[in-house]
Structure 1
Amino acid sequence: MAQKNLLPYILLGLIEDKPKTGYDLMKEFETEIGEFWSVKHSQIYLELKRLVSNEDIKSETGYFGNKIEKTYYSITEKGQNKLHKWQYSYEDHLSVNKDEFVLKLYFIKNKNEPRLAELLNEQLHLHKAKLAHLNERYELLFSDKKSKESQYGHYLILEHAISRETEYVNWLTNALSEI
C-alpha cells in the first residue's frame, strides 16, 4: 500500500491556531514534531507552495516588526475543512515502522557475532540520550497541570515517547546481558 502524504495535514495543523513562517514551521520539526515525524526543510517549502496554490492556506509577505521581510502562512476555511476531515478519519491498518537497526539485527545469525555487542551498545547509547532529551522536554513543557490540559495531545505523545524509549533502553540492556 502506498504511503499517504501527511505533510500537508501536519502543516495545516501547525498553522491552525496562528500564522507561522516557514522558519517557524522548520523549528517545530526540529523540536516537537521531530520526535515522531521527520521531513526535509525543502519539503516544507514545496508543500507550503502547494497548499497556497490549492487555496488551503494563504500567505502574507511583509515587514513585521523588523527590517527582515517575512512570509506568514495562515489557514483558510477550505484548509480548515480539509484538516478536520483528516483529523476525524481513521485508518484500518498500522503504519510500517522502518528501522535500519532492527533490519541489521534481523540478519545477525547468532549471539556470538562480533558486531552484535557493538550494534546493541551503540543503540543503547542513542536511546539513553533520546530518553534524557524527552524527559527534559517533558519538564520544560509540562511541569504544571495547566500546560498538560491546554496541549493534552502533545502531552500524551510525549508520555508515549518516554514510555517507548524507557522500554527500548530496558530491552537493549536485557539483550546485552544475554551475550
Structure 2
Amino acid sequence: MRVLKFAILGLLDQRDLTGYDITKHFKDTLGQFWSAKHSQIYPELKRLTEEGFIQFDVHIHGKKLEKKVYQITDAGKAELDEWLRTKSPIPETTKDEFMLKTFFISSMDKKDAVELFTHQLLERTKKVDMLEHKLKVLTEEDPSVQLLHSVQFGHFLVLTRAIEREKGYVLWLQKTLHFINQ
C-alpha cells in the first residue's frame, strides 16, 4: 500500500499546497509519526496527478519563478475517504536503534551504559519540551483546535500522543538509570 499517497491526499484535503509546503509538513507536523523525503514526495505528486487524484495550477512568483499549487480532486477525496475508513492492523514494530543497543546492554560496561542512557534521557527531555512548545503555539493560534471539526484537531491529537509517548520514554529512562546505578 502506498501510504505516502494518502498522507499527501490528506494534506491536500486540508488546503492547497506546493510540493515545498508538503515537504515542510513531513519535516514538521507529520514528522512526529511519519517521514518522507523530497525524493519520494515529488514522484508521488507526479503519480497522483497522472492517476487523477490531484491536479495543480501554476502560479508565477516574481518574474520567472513558477510554483505548482496542488489541489485534491473529487476522485482523490473519494480515495482518501475509503482509506480513512479502512481498519489497519497494528504495525509489527518501528525501528529504534537505541532499543537495539539496550537489548545488548550486557555487552557494555556500566560507565558506557550510564552515558548512553543519560544522553538518551537528555535528548528525550528536549523532545518533550519541543513538543509541548508546539502544542502551546498550536492552541494559542487556534483556540478551537480541540474541537472535532477543526482542521487542526488531528494535529492536536498527534501532538498530545507524541508528548505522552516521549514522557513515558523519559520515565522509563529515569527508572532504568536508577536501576543501572544501584
With normalisation by structure 2, the TM-score equals 0.89
The alpha carbon displacement at 1:95 in A equals 4.2
Structure 2 equivalent of residue 148 of structure 1: 146
Which segments of 5 or more consecutive residues in structure 2 lack a partner in the other structure?
none
Gaps of 5+ in 1: none
Measured after TM superposition, the shift of residue 148 of structure 1 is 2.1
The number of residue pairs the alignment matches comes to: 175
Higher helix proportion: 2
Q: How does 1:128-167 map to 2 (within 5 A)?
A: 128-143=125-140, 145-149=143-147, 150=150, 151-167=152-168
**1:112 offset after TM fit, Å?**
4.5
Q: Which residue among 14, 38, 41 is the counterpart of 1:41? A: 38
Partner of 1:117: 114
Cα pair distance change 1:145/1:62, threshold 3 Å: closer
- Aligned-residue Cα RMSD (Å) equals 1.7
Q: How does 1:79-90 map to 2 (within 5 A)?
A: 79-90=76-87
1:14 corresponds in structure 2 to: 11
Deviates more, 1:127-136 or 1:113-122: 113-122
Secondary structure, aligned partner of 2:56: strand
| Structure 2 counterpart of 1:172 | 173
TM value normalised by structure 1: 0.90
Counterpart residue identity of residue 27, structure 2: E
- Secondary structure of 2:106 counterpart: coil
1:63 aligns with 2:60: yes
Counting aligned pairs with the same residue, the percent is: 38
User: How far apart are the structure 1 equivalents of 2:108 and 2:27?
Assistant: 37
